[in-house]
Amino acid sequence: MATQTHRRERERAARRRVLLAAAERLFQRHGYRGATMAALAREAELPLATIYALFPSKERIYFTLIEERAAELFAAIQEAAAAAEPGLARLLAVVRRVVAYFEARRAFFQIYISTRSGLEWTVKDDLGEEVNRIYNRHLDLLEGIVAEAIARGELRQLPPKEVAHGIAGLVNAFLFQWVVGRSERPLSEQLPVLEEMLLHGVAP
């Protein structure tokens, strides 16, 4: 009985992965509003009844994708932070990893922006508590890195929380403009300007 239960759970998890991958492709081609559950069933090659057994609505599928991408991004940030030297080097490693992640997922975040008013990740209730929790963990991690850099004398003696929020806002502004601008120029090419602003500001 336990073996059968585990097998069913694995099969359900596999169908869920197939469905979410198909949903991301469909949203990229047709946008959130242009995608339908019937089209999703065709894209995933799954019965419509199976789709509804996994998710009650298109909205829930979309929010799940957002949640999974947020978790994926935070895991990438944690990995970058763990691999870098303490202090300023760690801060720059995190910023570079965020840029690389968005560069690889541009089409998805174009969908996100089309359904939201912007890219600030102060997520509202409709995106779920989980995404908000992940974002707060990201800010906490960033605050710790900033505090570490301040203690090492690599950043000015300013409140770490406010500095972390300011850095997040600046990075988000760069990400937003690149995603919506549809520029052919890689986002990574803007890193020198972003890092210069982070480290030295804009005053001469």
Whether the Cβ atoms of residue 14 and residue 52 lie closer than 8 Å to each other: no
More confident residue, 132 or 79: 79
Q: Does the structure show a pLDDT above 90 at 129?
A: no
pLDDT at position 123, please?
Answer: 45
Residue 151, number of CB atoms within 10 A of its CB: 13
More confident residue, 147 or 115: 147
Structural domains in the chain plus CATH codes: 1-56 (1.10.10.60), 58-200 (1.10.357.10)
Rounded Cα distance, 76 and 104, in Å? 13
pTM over 0.85: no
- Per-residue pLDDT tens for 25-46? 999 888 888 899 999 999 999 9
- Per-residue pLDDT tens for 148-190? 999 999 999 999 999 999 999 999 899 888 888 767 788 899 9
Whether the Cβ atoms of residue 79 and residue 100 lie closer than 8 Å to each other: no
pLDDT at position 122, please?
Answer: 42
Whether the Cβ atoms of residue 178 and residue 190 lie closer than 8 Å to each other: yes
Mean pLDDT over the full length of the chain: 87
Q: Does the structure show a pLDDT above 90 at 201?
A: no
